[in-house]
């Protein structure tokens, strides 16, 4: 929402690219309904009160709510796929409910983000996450972290494990099903997705030493860019993540 502190009955202006999309692309006019979100959990039902030019409208809020964050929280560590599959991976994971996404420079990644390219790549992923959040009517936009090396991923695994969560590495040779590896009432899950060439054995051993567990998602071998979305769908059914209501 343009004004995160606005309450029901207030009028808020929507301008810039968002206003242009609403007025010019969607052709919204007075009386049309729309949903507004601040990207951090607040969402509102609203109606267009008036339009002012091709890129600005004023909406009146009818109902405002704070959508609870899903539990367990799921952070996806995504090995860099080849472009444009990186943005596709972020799009699908966002629509499927990822709470945060960490780009990972795995040893077998073909794609690389050297130097300044790392921030440009992160910015592209953040833009993909914002657009996918709007498309799926999410109240929360997933955080896109800075590019992580394998050592940083091991540190994340250790931190999640120390807080009572679980770290899971999707691996085609794993014998433990995803469902069997989920601890009861874990506050957070770290979901590690390898590159198209698979997770390097040394990386897998390092992750296991830090507390991660290799798991099998199913009998099929999925692309790196689609695996997170499929896993998040399974987690929605296997955990309480989908047991919440929102305005959307």
Q: Which residues contact 175 (CB under 8 A, 6 or more apart)?
A: 216
What pTM was computed for the model?
Answer: 0.87
Q: What is the pLDDT along the chain (248 residues), one digit of tens a residue?
A: 556 677 887 888 888 888 787 788 788 888 888 888 877 888 888 888 888 888 888 888 888 888 889 999 999 999 999 888 999 999 999 999 999 999 999 999 999 999 999 999 999 999 999 999 988 889 899 999 999 999 999 999 999 999 999 999 999 999 999 999 999 889 999 999 999 989 999 999 999 999 999 999 988 889 999 999 999 999 999 999 998 655 55
- Domain residues of the chain, as ranges? 10-66, 73-238
Name the CATH topology of 73-238.
Answer: Alpha/beta knot (3.40.1280)
The CATH classification number of 10-66 equals 2.40.240.20
> In this structure, how many other beta carbons lie within 10 angstroms of the beta carbon of residue 244?
11
């Amino acid at each position: 929402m343009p004004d995160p502190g606005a309450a029901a009955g207030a009028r808020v202006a929507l301008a810039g690219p968002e206003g242009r999309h609403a007025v010019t692309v969607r052709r919204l006019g007075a009386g049309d309904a729309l949903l507004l979100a601040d990207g951090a959990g607040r969402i509102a039902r609203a109606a267009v009160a008036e339009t002012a030019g091709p890129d600005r409208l004023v909406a009146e809020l009818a109902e405002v709510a704070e959508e609870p964050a899903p539990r367990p929280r799921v952070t996806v560590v995504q090995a860099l796929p080849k472009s444009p599959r990186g943005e596709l991976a972020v799009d699908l994971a966002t629509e499927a409910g990822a709470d945060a996404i960490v780009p990972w420079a795995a040893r077998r990644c073909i794609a690389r983000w050297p130097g300044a390219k790392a921030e440009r790549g992160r910015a592209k992923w953040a833009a993909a996450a914002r657009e996918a959040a709007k498309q799926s009517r999410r109240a929360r936009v997933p955080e896109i972290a800075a590019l992580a090396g394998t050592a940083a991923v091991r540190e994340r695994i250790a931190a999640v494990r120390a807080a009572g969560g679980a770290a899971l590495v999707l691996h085609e040779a794993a014998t433990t099903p995803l469902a069997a590896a989920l601890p009861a009432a874990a506050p957070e899950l770290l979901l590690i997705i390898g590159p198209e060439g698979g997770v390097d054995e040394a990386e897998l051993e390092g992750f296991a030493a830090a507390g991660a567990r290799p798991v099998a998602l199913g009998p099929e071998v999925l692309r790196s860019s689609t695996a997170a979305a499929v896993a998040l769908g399974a987690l929605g059914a296997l955990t309480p993540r989908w047991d919440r209501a929102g305005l959307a």
